[in-house]
Amino acid sequence: MNESEHGEGRCRRGRGRPRARRRIGDPAAFRCFGPLCGRPDEVVVILPEEVEALRLVDLAGLEQEEAALALGVSRKTLWRDLHEARAKVADALVHGKTIRIAGCGRRQEEGCPEDGETHAGP
Domain count, the chain: 1
**Cα–Cα distance for residue pair 98/84, rounded to 1 Å:** 16
**Cα–Cα distance for residue pair 25/76, rounded to 1 Å:** 20
In a domain, 33, yes or no: no
What pLDDT does residue 2 have?
47
In a domain, 38, yes or no: no
Please choose, from the candidates 61, 97, 67, the residue with its C-alpha nearest in 3D space to the C-alpha of residue 80.
Answer: 67
In a domain, 102, yes or no: yes
CATH code of the domain in which 100 resides: 1.10.10
In a domain, 54, yes or no: yes
What pLDDT does residue 20 have?
58
DSSP state for residue 27 in the 8-state scheme: G
What pLDDT does residue 122 have?
37
User: Where is 45: in which H helix or E strand?
Assistant: strand 39-46
What pLDDT does residue 25 have?
60
Structural domain that includes position 72: 48-114
User: Where is 84: in which H helix or E strand?
Assistant: helix 75-95
Per-block mean pLDDT, blocks of 10 residues, the chain (122 long): 45 60 56 78 91 94 95 94 96 92 61 43 38
